């Protein structure tokens, strides 16, 4: 996969690209993340890429020509061009899985008061990482690059990815490591039993309990199996009874 990131601060990504799983994925040639300085596409002598908006208003707006030129240079039939904006569709694990199947992503990082609205005619998606405003699109670009890269084949262990929170809709089950007990805090005995099926059943129930208790809003978007529905009904009844 190729990920092209268009930004006025390419140096912002230095540590990101040379650390942990991203570095390994690049070294193994699973992903090629390329940075593009938008100022290099400026039509101004001093490489300005912002101007005052027509109609007035506070702040500066990133101009259209540099984005037009860089998109036309990078975009191919296999590209998905994404403008990172608080007005976009909310990024989630489902979107990450879909984007991970692509060959080429172009991530456009805005700044100031945003980008000239004519950019909307050139993009495939407008994506937000949350209902808040950041100073620029660099952090969202990192988040999307990280979430997508770790889903690429052989970047991390496949079983590990499948057990991640939100991968199948549910949050992850609780996990524990040594020692078995510390200052009165104990690991659940079942996890020490070596009974794999019982542990798997426990983890499934804990996924549902954790999601119900922490992120109940996620449940409506999950296509549940009959088994999961039975467990959820049990959890709901226990919760209701505890309040009575």
pLDDT of 127-147, one tens digit each?
A: 999 999 899 999 999 999 999
224 in the same domain as 111: no
Task: Note whether residue 233 is domain-resident.
Answer: yes
Q: Which of 195 and 46 is assigned the larger pLDDT? A: 195
Task: Tell me the pLDDT band of 162, cut-offs 50, 70 and 90.
Answer: low
Contacts with 187 (C-beta within 8 Å, 6 or more apart), sequence order: 176, 180, 181
195 in the same domain as 153: no
Task: Tell me the pLDDT band of 156, cut-offs 50, 70 and 90.
Answer: confident
> Can you give the CATH number for the domain in which 48 is found?
3.40.1280.10
Mean pLDDT of 152-160: 77
**Which pLDDT belongs to residue 163?**
54
- Measure the CA–CA gap between 216 and 221, rounded to whole angstroms: 10
Mean pLDDT of 24-28: 95
**Which pLDDT belongs to residue 57?**
79
- Measure the CA–CA gap between 199 and 210, rounded to whole angstroms: 16
**Which pLDDT belongs to residue 28?**
93
Choose the final residue of a domain: 94, 125, 158. 158
Task: Note whether residue 165 is domain-resident.
Answer: no
Task: Note whether residue 19 is domain-resident.
Answer: yes
**Which pLDDT belongs to residue 113?**
81
**Which pLDDT belongs to residue 166?**
61
Question: Phi, psi (5° rounding) for residue 51?
Answer: -160, 170
19 in the same domain as 101: yes
**Which pLDDT belongs to residue 242?**
85
Q: Looking at the predicted structure, is the pLDDT value of residue 38 above 90?
A: yes
Q: Which of 169 and 180 is assigned the larger pLDDT? A: 180
* Structure token digits, residue 17: 């690209």
Whether 146 contacts 22, CB under 8 Å: yes
Which of 227, 211, 236, 4 shows the shortest CA–CA distance to 93?
211
Place of tokens 């549940």: 224
Question: 143-157 burial, b if ≥16 CB within 10 A, otherwise e?
Answer: bbbbbbbbbbeebbe
Longest dimension (CA), the chain: 72
126 in the same domain as 185: no
100 in the same domain as 61: yes
The average confidence (pLDDT) of the chain is 92
189, containing H or E segment: none
pLDDT tens digits for 198-229? 999 999 999 999 999 999 999 998 999 999 99
187 in the same domain as 154: no
Q: Which of 165 and 238 is assigned the larger pLDDT? A: 238
pLDDT tens digits for 111-126? 888 899 999 999 999 9
**Which pLDDT belongs to residue 169?**
84
82 in the same domain as 188: no
Based on the structure, what is the number of domains in the chain?
A: 2
186 in the same domain as 147: no
Whether 91 contacts 127, CB under 8 Å: yes
Catalytic positions, written as ranges = 86, 113, 150, 164
Question: Phi, psi (5° rounding) for residue 136?
Answer: -170, 175
202 in the same domain as 84: no
206 in the same domain as 134: no
195 in the same domain as 90: no
Q: Which of 111 and 106 is assigned the larger pLDDT? A: 106
**Which pLDDT belongs to residue 159?**
57
**Residues of the domain holding 51:** 2-158
Place of tokens 């996924």: 207
Contacts with 62 (C-beta within 8 Å, 6 or more apart), sequence order: 38, 49, 50, 110, 111, 112, 114, 115, 116
pTM for the structure as a whole? 0.84
pLDDT tens digits for 12-21? 999 999 999 9
**Which pLDDT belongs to residue 62?**
92
199 in the same domain as 124: no
Mean pLDDT of 43-71: 90
């Amino acid at each position: 996969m190729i990920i092209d990131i268009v930004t006025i601060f390419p140096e912002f990504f230095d540590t990101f690209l040379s650390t942990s799983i991203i570095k390994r994925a690049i070294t193994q040639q699973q992903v090629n993340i390329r940075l593009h300085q938008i100022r290099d596409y400026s039509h101004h002598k001093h490489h300005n890429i912002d101007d005052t908006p027509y109609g007035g208003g506070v702040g500066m707006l990133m101009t259209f020509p540099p984005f037009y030129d860089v998109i036309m240079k990078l975009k191919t039939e296999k590209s998905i061009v994404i403008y990172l904006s608080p007005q976009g569709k909310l990024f989630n694990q489902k979107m990450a899985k879909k984007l991970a199947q692509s060959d080429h992503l172009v991530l456009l990082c805005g700044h100031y008061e945003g980008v000239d609205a004519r950019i909307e005619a050139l993009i495939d998606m407008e994506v937000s990482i949350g209902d808040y405003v950041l100073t620029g699109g660099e952090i969202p670009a990192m988040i999307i690059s990280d979430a997508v890269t770790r889903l690429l084949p052989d970047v991390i262990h496949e079983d590990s990815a499948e057990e991640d929170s939100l991968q199948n809709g549910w949050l992850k089950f609780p996990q524990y490591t040594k020692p078995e007990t510390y200052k009165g805090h104990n690991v659940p005995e079942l996890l020490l039993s070596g009974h794999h099926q019982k542990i798997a059943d426990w983890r499934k129930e804990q996924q549902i309990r954790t999601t119900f208790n922490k992120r109940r809003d996620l449940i409506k978007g999950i296509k549940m199996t009959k088994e999961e529905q039975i467990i959820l009904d049990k959890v709901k009844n226990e919760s209701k009874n505890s309040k009575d």
